[in-house]
Structure 1
């Protein structure tokens, strides 16, 4: 199984890319993870629906066949790290590649949300896209650490 963070957005500052790379390289060999950036649709005079439809088409182009799609959404499940670890364990047992989708400035197309097998919420706070990417990469690594009883994660 592979994990892929697909993020609609512009190139992030070097510190975001470096932070994501650091956590992704720590992932175990049996659970490789990567970040793929999708170019956002230029705004111009387009409606929100037109922007989301164009981004949806770009997202669909990169989704692996029969992957598990997980969208990050403000109305998604608000999990603790331990709950995320259990969810990750279930995804691993399923065996399909997992794509965790971070939408662009206008969000994620409703059809993609309906097709997702899971919806996750990172925070009640509004996060910049780069911070969301970095936080997601760190939490995926932390969830794996929990599953492997690694001392990176400490309860209490």
Structure 2
């Protein structure tokens, strides 16, 4: 089993890298997130947002394989809570499935990538900086793991 976090973006600022590593190192090895950086597709003049999303979707797909469980994060996705995520994490472990957590770039995710994902989840109705989303996701995975294992962190 592996969990990949696929998101376009540049090098993480130190504070993001520190926070991400802190939570990721708390997880057991088999649940630690593998951060897969995707080069953002922006930068070409006169490139439409749709073209940017398409290019980033193609780059993301290169890091997935048939049989993976793909979960796209999108503001229109399902609102989930910690108990639900904890149950999903237990299922992933029991089934040994490889999971791809997919976050869009500055323009969002291309519709084809969202439709090809088995699940579409929303972190919030709020908009977050992409760097912060990395920290939120790894913290939520750790929180779900803590709940599964009756660790006091979840009650904090």
Q: Does TM, scored on the shorter chain, surpass 0.5?
A: yes
Q: Per-residue displacement from partner, 1:5-50 (whole Å, max 9, x unpaired)?
A: 1111122211101111111111113323221111111242111221
What is the number of equivalent residue pairs in this alignment? Answer: 155
Report what 1:100 is aligned to.
Answer: 101
- Distance in 2, matches of 1:101 and 1:152, equals 26
Report what 1:154 is aligned to.
Answer: 155
Within a 5 Å distance, the mapping from 1:28-47 to structure 2 comes to 28-43=28-43, 44-47=45-48
Report what 1:59 is aligned to.
Answer: 60
Matched, 1:117 2:121: no
Structure 1 range deviating more: 104-113 or 58-67: 58-67
Root-mean-square deviation (Å): 1.4
Q: Per-residue displacement from partner, 1:55-111 (whole Å, max 9, x unpaired)?
A: 111111111442110011101111111121112222223321101011001111111
- Distance in 2, matches of 1:121 and 1:81, equals 13
Report what 1:7 is aligned to.
Answer: 7
Report what 1:137 is aligned to.
Answer: 138
In structure 2, the gaps of 5 or more residues are: none
- Distance in 1, matches of 2:96 and 2:113, equals 21
TM-score where L is the length of structure 1: 0.92
- Distance in 1, matches of 2:16 and 2:31, equals 21
Corresponding residue SS for 1:4: strand
